[in-house]
A = this chain, B = another copy of it.
């Protein structure tokens, strides 16, 4: 593309480095900012700078946090004996929005993926082991670890690795249920999910 000005060329080039944003969308966003008054751009850039320079991670669960420990880890209303393992912050938000989970989290920061060069050492696994070990000597020992990882090959590999790694503590380990999403038509479900949902059927209580 031939840009009429170096400024817009630079802006488009930087915006299009963001994931899922191509040159055309970047240009649309840049022209949008040009149309709006200066404050719009200023508030946006300030929010981004503050986010990047001031955000810290919770020392305990590695979730994004304003302080040393996050709101969830310091809450007295959460069940300290239940830890949900997730891949990243987005998953914490997704689970929090369901309102169904009252325990704590542990953000792994990714999943084991040999193809992408991500091994167990690149994830927050050591701190998880340490955290559970320390809890065993406290008033609120961890009693269950729920693995809420993606139902993919990488997710399953990570879950398998963690099961081996945490076996020493003899605590309960579980995974979130896989099955037919609520509201979906049975006939449109893929074979693997449908097959698995029959094998892991739930008894009526």
- Residues of A near any B CB (own CB < 8 A): 1-8, 10-11, 13-15, 17-21, 25, 27-34, 38, 40-45, 47-55, 63-66, 70-72, 88-90, 92-93, 96-97
Given A7-B55, A54-B7, A96-B2, check contact A18 B45 (CB 8 Å): no
Contact A20 B14 (CB under 8 A): no
Q: Are A34 and B52 in contact (CB under 8 A)?
A: yes
Secondary structure type dominating chain A contacts: helix
Closest 10 CB pairs of A and B: A45-B45, A41-B52, A11-B51, A14-B47, A11-B47, A14-B44, A10-B47, A5-B66, A7-B51, A4-B64
Are A51 and B20 in contact, CB atoms less than 8 angstroms apart?
Answer: no
Note all chain B residues with C-beta closer than 8 A to A90.
27-28, 31
Does B31 contact A89, Cβ atoms closer than 8 Å?
yes
Contact A41 B32 (CB under 8 A): no
Which residue of chain B lies nearest to A49 when distances are taken between CB atoms in the complex?
B45
Residues of B within 8 A of A38 (CB): 52-53
B residues near A49, Cβ cutoff 8 Å: 41-42, 45
A8 and B51 form a contact (CB under 8 A): yes
**CB distance B55 to A34 under 8 Å?**
yes
Of B48, B70, B88, the contact of A41 (CB 8 Å cutoff) = B48
Question: B residues within 8 A CB of A89?
Answer: 4, 31
**B41 touching A10, Cβ below 8 Å:** no
Q: Cβ of A11: which chain B residues have Cβ within 8 Å of it? A: 47-48, 50-51
A65–B4 Cα distance when bound, in Å, is 6
- With a cutoff of 8 Å between Cβ atoms, the chain B residues found around residue A40 in the complex are 17
Chain B CB within 10 Å, residue with most, of A38, A49, A92 = A49
